[in-house]
Amino acid sequence: MLPRLESGGLRCGKDFFLAYSPEREDPGRKDHSTQTIPKLVGGVDPASGEIAVALYRKAIRQVIPVSTAEVAEAAKLLENIYRSVNIALVNEMKVVLSAMGIDIWEVISAASTKPFGFQPFYPGPGLGGHCIPIDPYYLTWKAREVGLPTRFIELAGEVNHAMPKYVVQRTVLALNDRGKAVKGSKILVLGLAYKPDVDDVRESPSFELIEQLEELGAAVSYNDPHVPQTHRMRKYDLQMTSVELTAESLKKYDCVLIATHHSAYDWQMIADHSTLIVDTRNALKR
């Protein structure tokens, strides 16, 4: 943006003012709003930073000025990379501990009793949204310009992007244990959104789960109370519609795959009337 604005002869800090403030939204949260989330602001020059801070203070309770726009952007990247790396850690722990017959959810619950030095993260079928699956790679791209690797970022991405395939493998094995081939099986994916109680499907791992299962010959349907039908996306165009979720309809499926734990779901009803459930979210813990 800066080169484009200056290409006509305008000067930053005099003719126009330019600053950067990263978004810190978490769709679906009820305990924070845009007004209550602290706002980072960094100007391209000091005057731009001061003006941007004054502007945001009209609407945001706490505005935190930083020295430059680059610091503000790097802070946003660190926030996202922190989550990506820690989610990758528990996803890898999930795979390893499952092979050992150890319940990862109980392990996380036990570790969470430590009053310091630990923050719980939880495994899942993959990563969704824009911030965590995509944004960390901006730093990877930029790091190459200065000749440096970003090994943590890339390794975390490998682990997280492998989770849909792992979930599909576990689904195939679960069907096999019941004498059922995945080819020709009817599978219902619960949840298309990438996180609970929202309609945001950007980069949702549910799409990859559906695609991989269909490639293996399964007849896949989905239900999501927040996503009545799919639309064309960056990588997918499934052209699917959410099916009805009832006690009778559940009995028609050979497997129910829980991908998103929406609070609207009646988990007891789902547990009572499903033939087989693969739960990637610990939704049936009760």
Pairing of strands 219-223, 255-258: unpaired
257 touches 208 (CB < 8 A): no
Look-up of token digits 């610990």: 282
Look-up of token digits 């993260």: 121
Tell me, yes or no, if 12 is annotated catalytic: no
59 touches 35 (CB < 8 A): yes
**What strands lie across the sheet with 39-43, from one edge to the other?**
19-20, 39-43, 63-66
Say how many residues make up the chain. Answer: 286
256 touches 277 (CB < 8 A): yes
Interatomic CA distance for residues 254 and 189, integer angstroms: 11
Interatomic CA distance for residues 72 and 21, integer angstroms: 6
Catalytic residue among 44, 85, 90, 131: 131
84 touches 163 (CB < 8 A): no
User: Which residues are identified as catalytic?
Assistant: 131
